[in-house]
């Protein structure tokens, strides 16, 4: 298998590129281990009583702490509440354990050329993923960039439909789950929680109530902004919510304005950013360049890996 090119990506995107294009072989779980809470025992002795009583107090760790949303944007709240309501009105499918989820999408990551002009990620790859509903059977991924690869059976994978069914349907509990299971280093906790929400909503088939809880939880993440016009990988315009990390890039979840269905994602450069020096345009990527883009074209359930709806 040929080596993937190390193109210019926004923070953390090399990891996500490998997840999107390669790691179905390994099926890395979304959910990270939760740190065990620390317990401390406070001994309370009475002045007269001879007996000594011990009490147990739970002290939450940093990873369990979920900061409240600070003055959430009315536009963000309205869009995500409408998207949640639309998701809730979808009929929950009856799915057998021996079936497969099917997701077809188009995506591109990285800018291959340094230029003083606004650039677009590319080239676009077509991607189809068949994943066993319960993780007991081998799945399949077909990607025009890397070819056809098997998805090894993994009943403990957090990407299977049965695992996704177990996610919280209460927005506050979902928010806590996002913070508790965020991954990566070098970014704010809020960004990593938003990033996990994007990955969870992306190349998966979510139960309707889980989708609704996820959207409402995202509205509670501090720093989420409204993007009135965004474009997915196949040129569909929609309204998005985004998160700006370090004033240099914004990651977006794009929704159809009419149906409020999730269309895809986009990563946009917000200001001229340095890259490898000594190349075209003195190693700068122009503000407005799109460094990552995706579009979900179809989600369904099928009876066999490799079968299309």
Give the residue among 16, 44, 57, 67 at the shortest CA–CA distance from 198. Answer: 16
**pLDDT (tens digit per residue) in 83-105:** 999 999 999 999 999 999 999 99
Q: How far apart are CA 102 and CA 298, in angstroms?
A: 8
Q: How far, in Å, CA of 300 to CA of 298, rounded?
A: 7
Nearest to 254 by CA among 234, 269, 282, 271: 234
pLDDT of residue 113: 62
Q: And the tokens for 182?
A: 């965020």
pLDDT of residue 148: 97
Q: What residue has token string 């799915």? A: 95
What pLDDT, on the 0 to 100 scale, is given for residue 72?
73
Which DSSP symbol is given to 93? P
Res 155: pLDDT:
86
* Rg, the chain, Cα only: 22
Q: Helix 189-201 to helix 171-181 angle, to the nearest 10 degrees? A: 110
Its pTM stands at 0.78
Helix or strand (DSSP H, E) at 198:
helix 189-201
The Cα 32–Cα 178 span in angstroms is 10
Q: Count the Cβ atoms, other than its own, within 10 Å of residue 305.
A: 18
Place of tokens 């739970």: 58
- pLDDT attached to residue 69: 54
What pLDDT, in 10s, does the model give residues 222-250? 999 999 999 999 999 999 999 998 888 99
3-class secondary-structure state, position 223: coil
Q: Which one, of 26, 28, 52, 56, lies nearest residue 41 by Cα?
A: 56
Could you report the average pLDDT of every consecutive run of 10 residues in the chain (309 residues)?
A: 35 40 35 30 32 33 55 90 97 96 96 76 94 97 95 91 97 96 88 96 96 97 96 98 91 98 96 69 83 97 97
Tally of CB atoms within 10 A around 112: 13
Phi, psi of 217 (to 5 degrees): -70, -40
Which pLDDT score, from 0 to 100, does residue 245 have? 83
């Amino acid at each position: 298998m040929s080596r993937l090119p190390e193109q210019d990506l926004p923070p953390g995107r090399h990891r996500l590129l490998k997840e999107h294009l390669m790691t179905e072989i390994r099926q890395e779980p979304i959910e990270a281990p939760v740190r065990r809470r620390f317990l401390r025992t406070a001994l309370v002795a009475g002045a007269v009583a001879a007996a000594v009583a011990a009490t147990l107090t739970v002290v939450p760790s940093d990873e369990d702490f979920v900061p409240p949303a600070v003055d959430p944007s009315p536009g963000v709240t309205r869009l995500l509440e409408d998207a949640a309501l639309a998701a809730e009105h979808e009929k929950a499918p009856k799915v057998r354990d021996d079936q497969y989820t099917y997701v077809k999408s188009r995506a591109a990551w990285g800018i291959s050329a340094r230029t003083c002009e606004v650039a677009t990620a590319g080239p676009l790859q077509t991607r189809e993923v068949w994943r066993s509903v319960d993780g007991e059977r081998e799945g399949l991924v077909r990607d025009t960039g890397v070819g056809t690869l098997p998805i090894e059976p993994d009943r403990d994978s957090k990407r299977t439909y049965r695992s996704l069914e177990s996610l919280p349907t209460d927005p506050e509990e979902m928010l806590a789950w996002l913070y508790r299971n965020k991954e990566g280093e070098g970014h704010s906790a809020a960004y990593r929680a938003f990033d996990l929400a994007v990955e969870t909503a992306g190349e998966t088939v979510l139960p309707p109530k889980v989708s609704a809880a996820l959207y409402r939880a995202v509205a509670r993440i501090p720093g989420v902004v409204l993007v009135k016009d965004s474009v997915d990988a196949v040129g569909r315009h929609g309204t998005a919510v985004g998160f700006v990390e370090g004033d240099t890039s914004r990651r977006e979840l794009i929704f159809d304005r009419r149906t409020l269905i999730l269309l895809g994602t986009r990563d946009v450069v917000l200001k001229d950013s340095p890259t490898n020096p000594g190349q075209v345009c003195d190693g700068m990527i122009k503000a407005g360049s799109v460094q990552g883009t995706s579009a979900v074209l179809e989600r369904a359930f099928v009876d066999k890996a490799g079968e299309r709806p």
